[in-house]
C-alpha cells in the first residue's frame, strides 16, 4: 500500500496475535492509552491470525514469532497486501531479520522492550518505514543487517537491466510494494510483476530480499537509499 501521511485524526488499526493471553492483554493495555492507535482484534494461534487479518484488514498486524510467525506469514502471503506486519520476538538475529524481511515483514520488536519501542514501531511501519529492534529504518536497504553473506543465488547471470527495470530495483530497495511501484510509474500491477520476473531472471535471484542484497553488492543503483 502507498505510505499514508500520518495525521492527528488518523487511527492506526492493530491486530494482536500471540499464543499467550498475558502478552495479548499487556499489548492491548499498552496501546489503549495511545492516541491514534486502536486494537481491533486479537488472535491466539496461526489460523486465527490469518482469519482475523482477512476479516478485519488491520493496518498493522503484531505477530508473535513463536506463533509461529514466519509460517503464518508464508501461509498468508498475498492475502492481505494492505496489512503491514511487525513480529514480536524474544531475540533478534541477523538470520531472523533476513527471514522476516524476505517474507515482507516491516518490523521486529523485542518483547522485553515493548513499552519502550512498540508504539514508535507501529507508527513507523504504518508510515511505510521499517523498525528493527530499537531503530527505525527508512528503507528495505537500511533495514538489512550488515553482513558479508552473499546473495543466495549460486550463479549470477549477465545483468543487462533496462532503465525501467533499474527504477523498479530502486523501488524494491525502498521497500515499495508492487502496488506502490505501479502507482508511481502509472503501470498495472501485472506489468510490475513482469518487470520483477525479468529482473529476477537477469540477476539470478528469486525473492525481493535476494534482489536487494544483490543490488547492494553490485551497486545497481546510484545510492543505497
With a pLDDT cut of 90, the percent of the chain lying above it is 62
Taking a C-beta distance cutoff of 8 angstroms, is the pair 84, 110 a contact? Answer: no
Model confidence pLDDT, tens digit, residues 92-111:
888 889 988 988 899 999 99
Task: Indicate the CATH number for domain 163-218.
Answer: 1.10.10.10
The pTM is what?
0.80
**151 pLDDT band (50/70/90 cuts)?**
very low
**From CA 220, how far away is CA 224, in angstroms rounded?**
9
Q: Where are the domains of the chain?
A: 12-138, 163-218
**7 pLDDT band (50/70/90 cuts)?**
low
How confident is the prediction for the chain on average, in pLDDT? 87
Sheet holding 107-110, edge to edge: 37-43, 12-17, 60-64, 84-89, 107-110, 130-132, 135-137
CATH homologous superfamily, domain 12-138: Response regulator (3.40.50.2300)
Note whether 12-138 and 163-218 share their fold. no
8 versus 129: which is more confidently predicted? 129
Taking a C-beta distance cutoff of 8 angstroms, is the pair 203, 214 a contact? Answer: yes
2 versus 21: which is more confidently predicted? 21
Amino acid at each position: 500500500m502507498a505510505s499514508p501521511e500520518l495525521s492527528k485524526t488518523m487511527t492506526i488499526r492493530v491486530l494482536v496475535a500471540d499464543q499467550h493471553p498475558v502478552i495479548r492483554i499487556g499489548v492491548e493495555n499498552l496501546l489503549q492509552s495511545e492516541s491514534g492507535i486502536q486494537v481491533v482484534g486479537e488472535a491466539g494461534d496461526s489460523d486465527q491470525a490469518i482469519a482475523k487479518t482477512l476479516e478485519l484488514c488491520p493496518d498493522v498486524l503484531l505477530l508473535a514469532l513463536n506463533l509461529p510467525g514466519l509460517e503464518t506469514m508464508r501461509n498468508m502471503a498475498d492475502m492481505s497486501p494492505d496489512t503491514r506486519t511487525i513480529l514480536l520476538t524474544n531475540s533478534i538475529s541477523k538470520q531472523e531479520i533476513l527471514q522476516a524481511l524476505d517474507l515482507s515483514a516491516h518490523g521486529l520488536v523485542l518483547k522485553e522492550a515493548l513499552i519502550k519501542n512498540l508504539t514508535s514501531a507501529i507508527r513507523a511501519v504504518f508510515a511505510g518505514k521499517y523498525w528493527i529492534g530499537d531503530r527505525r529504518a527508512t528503507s528495505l536497504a537500511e533495514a538489512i543487517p550488515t553482513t558479508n553473506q552473499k546473495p543466495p543465488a549460486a550463479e549470477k547471470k549477465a545483468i543487462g537491466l533496462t532503465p525501467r527495470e533499474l527504477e523498479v530495483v530502486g523501488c524494491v530497495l525502498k521497500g515499495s510494494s508492487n502496488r506502490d511501484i505501479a502507482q508511481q510509474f502509472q503501470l498495472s500491477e501485472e506489468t510490475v510483476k513482469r518487470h520483477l520476473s525479468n529482473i529476477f531472471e537477469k540477476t539470478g535471484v528469486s525473492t525481493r530480499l535476494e534482489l536487494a542484497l544483490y543490488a547492494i553488492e553490485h551497486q545497481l543503483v546510484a545510492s543505497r537509499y
